[in-house]
Amino acid sequence: MMEKSFRIRARYFRPGYAAVVGAALVFLMPVVPAHAQWAVYDGANHVQNVLIAARTLQQIDNQITSLANQAQMLVNQGRNLASLPLSTLSSLQSTISQTTALLAQAQNIAYSVQSVEQQYQQAYTSVSSGMSDSALFSQAQTRWQNSVGGFEDALKLQARVVGNIPSDNSAMTQLVSASQDSTGALQAAQAGNQLMALQSRQLSDIQAELAANGRATALERARNAATEAESEAQYQHFAQHDAYTPGTVSMFGSSGN
Per-residue confidence in pLDDT tens, the chain, 257 aa = 444 444 444 444 455 544 444 444 444 445 445 555 566 667 788 888 888 999 999 999 999 998 888 888 888 777 777 788 888 888 888 999 999 998 898 888 888 888 888 888 888 887 777 788 888 888 889 999 999 999 999 999 999 999 999 999 999 999 999 888 888 888 888 898 999 999 999 999 999 999 999 999 999 999 998 888 778 777 777 777 655 566 676 656 555 44
Give the per-residue pLDDT at 254: 52
**124 in Cβ contact with 226 (< 8 Å):** yes
Rg (C-alpha) for the chain, rounded Å, is 59
pLDDT of residue 12: 47
With contact defined as beta carbons under 8 Å apart, do 103 and 111 qualify? yes
**What integer pLDDT is reported at residue 136 of this predicted model?**
85
What is the model's pLDDT at position 17? 46
| Cα distances (Å, whole numbers) of residue 223 to 42, 134, 147, 148 | 117, 17, 7, 11
Return all residues near 233 (Cβ < 8 A) that are at least 6 apart. Answer: 127, 128, 129, 131, 136
Which pLDDT does position 253 carry in this prediction? 56
Q: What is the pLDDT of residue 250?
A: 64
Nearest to 161 by CA among 209, 195, 117, 123: 209
